[in-house]
C-alpha cells in the first residue's frame, strides 16, 4: 500500500506544473493588451508628436510607441486634439475616438484610433489598422510621387 501512495504522490507532483501552464492558456490577448493608462498615454504621446511637427514612426516614450497613420504620413498637420473615452476593442486592443482639429481644414474630424501591444505599443488610425489586418484585399493608395507598377494577380 505504501508503494501505491508513493505512486499517487509522484503523479500529483508531475501534474502540478502542467496545471500551472494550463492556467495561463486562457489569457489570450491579455499579455499584448496595454493597460488603460498605457494606451491613453501612448496615444497622447503620438498625437503630441504629430501636433509638434515630428515625423511619423517611432515616438520617444516609455514604453516605445510606433505610429501608423496615413494622414500624418501624407503630410497633414493637426492644430489640436481631444481624446475621448476608452473603448475595449474585444480583440486585445483599446480604442479611442479622437477629435482632430486640422491646420488647413475647418472643423473637427472624429477619428478612431486602435492601440495595442506592450513595449512597443502600436497606435493605428482605424483605417490603417483594418488595412493591415486585411492585407490580401488592400485598396491601392495613390501617391503624388512616382507610381509603382502593380504585380499581376495570380488566378486561383
pLDDT at 141: 54
Q: What is the tens place of the pLDDT at every residue in 125-136?
A: 999 999 888 866
CA distances from 82 to 37, 40, 51, 77 (A): 16, 11, 12, 15
The whole-angstrom separation of Cα 63 and Cα 20 is 29
Nearest by Cα to 95 from 128, 126, 72, 69:
126
User: Per-residue pLDDT for 14 more than 50?
Assistant: no
Q: Which residues of 86-124 are buried (b: 16+ CB within 10 A; e: fewer)?
A: beebeeebbbbebebebeeeeeeeebbbbbbbbeebbbb
Domain residue extents for the chain: 30-134
pLDDT at residue 79 greater than cutoff 60: yes
For the chain, what percent of residues have pLDDT higher than 90? 46
Q: Is 80 exceeded by the pLDDT of residue 91?
A: yes
Mean residue pLDDT of the chain comes to: 77
The dihedral built from the CA positions of residue 133, 137, 143 and 146, taken in this order, carries a sign that is positive
89 vs 151, higher pLDDT: 89
Amino acid at each position: 500500500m505504501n508503494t501505491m501512495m508513493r505512486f499517487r504522490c509522484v503523479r500529483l507532483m508531475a501534474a502540478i506544473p502542467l496545471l500551472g501552464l494550463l492556467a495561463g492558456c486562457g489569457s489570450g490577448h491579455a499579455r499584448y493588451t496595454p493597460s488603460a493608462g498605457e494606451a491613453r498615454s501612448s496615444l497622447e504621446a503620438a498625437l503630441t508628436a504629430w501636433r509638434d511637427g515630428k515625423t511619423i514612426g517611432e515616438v520617444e516614450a516609455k514604453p516605445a510607441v510606433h505610429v501608423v497613420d496615413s494622414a500624418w504620413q501624407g503630410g497633414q498637420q493637426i492644430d489640436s486634439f481631444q481624446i475621448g473615452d476608452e473603448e475595449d476593442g474585444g480583440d486585445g486592443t483599446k480604442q479611442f475616438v479622437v477629435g482632430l482639429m486640422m491646420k488647413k481644414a475647418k472643423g473637427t474630424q472624429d477619428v478612431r484610433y486602435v492601440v495595442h501591444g506592450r513595449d512597443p505599443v502600436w497606435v493605428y488610425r482605424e483605417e490603417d489598422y483594418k488595412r493591415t489586418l486585411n492585407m490580401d484585399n488592400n485598396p491601392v493608395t495613390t501617391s503624388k510621387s512616382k507610381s509603382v507598377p502593380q504585380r499581376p494577380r495570380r488566378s486561383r
